Amino acid sequence: YPDEPASQFLQARIDPAVSRFFPAFLPLADPVFWQHLRDYFFSVYENSLQHLALFLALMSGLFFGRHWLSNQRVRRARRRIPLVIGGWGTRGKSGTERLKAALFNALGSSVLSKTTGCEAMFLYGYPFGDLTELFLFRPYDKATIWEQTQVLRLADHLDGDVLLWECMGLGKDFVHVLQRQWMRDDLATITNTYPDHEDVQGPAGYNIPEVMTAFIPAQATLLTSEEQMLPILRSAAQQLDTHLRTVNWLEAGLLTPDILARFPYQEHPYNIALVLALADELGISSAYALKEMADRVVADLGVLKTYPTAPVHNRRLSFVNGMSANERFGCLGNWQRMGFAEHDPYATPGEWITTVVNNRADRIPRSRVFASILVADISADRHVLIGTNLTGLQRYIRDSWDEYSAAIHLWPDADTSSQANSTAVATLIRMARRQRVPLQAAHLHAELRIMLAALAVNPDETAL
């Protein structure tokens, strides 16, 4: 230790370049300062109208200034990206964006693709590299349209050549901001305009395409595979001086089963045909685009896909994933495409169909739709409910069953004639088949025989 006093030693060791900053913070350490500050802001009598006006002016300037600065950053980032292509639609939009990403990745471009399928993701591929899938962070699992500005600036920082993005807005005003003010797409795709999010976009069938007209870019090119509501999209495109190209059943029908089998999952032919039309607009060979999409596509978590059969306790389990079909049309379409609608429980008693319904607490209208599907549209041996708000989902199922069962009558108008009796028997048989209840002794014997065989027991026919 030095011989001089501690105070002199510390004074000699203090750097003047650092100590000169400390007097500025001394008032903050004074409790009297904080007391006066609290009295000023919390007291009604310490503030005048001039003070209030000044405070509002400062806060308004801060708010609008920050908003203006954010918009300037967005516009600057957009100008630096050579090609921007957006995509929207009720069904198939996420799969379509992934097909686009595979196409531009094959061209050797630096591509960033934002998709919001089962999980919010973005795909990034550096020039002549492979696509990498990354999670898109959403605080508290909630999304805002400002998320799009972050993706846009990220694409700019990565020196992206192509930005592909899936519209995640629902309200028409939000979509207008995303498309007309921020992104201003060079090309855009709309897969279809099936009813969905009726609580936000409107209950009528034409409300959905009316909202989607806000997604059409001005003085650009729009490609769509929508057919029924096409006149609404065409009228809006004409007003915006946008070229409209359609894809119909003919282009989708030209994709043969052997071509579709090259994809690693059950991709819808209309989505493939839509991206092929996009490739043609850019002067890319359809054969090359088809080959590269099948080889390079990175599948979403919820794509329609049948996984390999797994043996479990003398049984064979086969899982068919269709989680992306989160509305009635898509769900029933997948149900038919996979052959479940034609399944005969009496012809193949060894095959049980079990559904897994993943419910979300923040999608009440969707829960009601799927409750109605389980009751009135599909036939299965078991339904497994997972997710959140399962109590509410079960209540919706009971409500749907009450409505469905009220329309079932064995003897309409209290008619007890022989013809009415035959109608009652036919109704019972139809409902038993729908509920997969054995109708004959042979059906019951077949199920019992299969159950015992799974336990390695070979019963005598006379015992059955």
- What are the pLDDT digits (tens) for 161-180? 999 999 988 889 999 999 99
Lowest mean pLDDT among 164-173, 339-348, 407-416: 407-416
Binning pLDDT at 50, 70 and 90, where does residue 3 land? low
Tell me the mean pLDDT in the region 203-216.
90
Q: What are the pLDDT digits (tens) for 369-404?
A: 999 999 999 999 999 999 999 999 999 999 999 999
Superfamily for 81-296?
Mur-like, catalytic domain (3.40.1190.10)
pTM, two decimal places: 0.76
Residue % of the chain over a pLDDT of 70: 90
What's the chain's average pLDDT?
Answer: 87
Which tens digits make up the pLDDT trace of 236-295? 999 999 999 999 999 999 999 999 999 998 899 999 999 999 999 999 999 999 999 999
Q: What percent of the chain has pLDDT over 90?
A: 52
Contacts of 462 (CB under 8 A, 6+ apart): none
Position 38 confidence tier, pLDDT thresholds 50, 70, 90 = confident
Does pLDDT of 13 surpass 80? Answer: no
Per-residue pLDDT band at 234 (split at 50, 70, 90): very high
What residue spans define the domains of the chain? 24-80, 81-296, 305-407, 409-464
| Mean pLDDT computed over 151-165 | 94
The residue with greater pLDDT, 383 or 423, is: 383
- What is residue 413's predicted lDDT score, i.e. its pLDDT? 65
Q: What pLDDT is stored for residue 127 in this prediction?
A: 93
Work out the angle at residue 360's Cα, subtended by the Cα atoms of residues 172 and 98, and round it to the nearest 5 degrees: 60
Using the predicted structure, report yes or no on whether residue 323 has a pLDDT greater than 90: no
22-36, 273-287, 307-321, 364-378: segment of lowest average pLDDT: 22-36
Per-residue pLDDT tens over the stretch 433-459: 888 888 888 888 888 888 888 777 777
Q: Answer with the residue of higher pLDDT: 45 or 124.
A: 124
Range 430-435 average pLDDT: 87
> Crossing angle, helix 390-405 and helix 364-376, to 10 degrees?
40
Predicted local confidence at residue 420, as pLDDT:
64
* pLDDT for residue 10: 46
Distances (CA, A) of 295 to 70, 96, 130, 131, 372: 39, 15, 11, 12, 38
Encode pLDDT of 72-128 as tens digits.
999 999 999 999 999 999 888 999 999 999 999 999 999 999 998 777 889 999 999
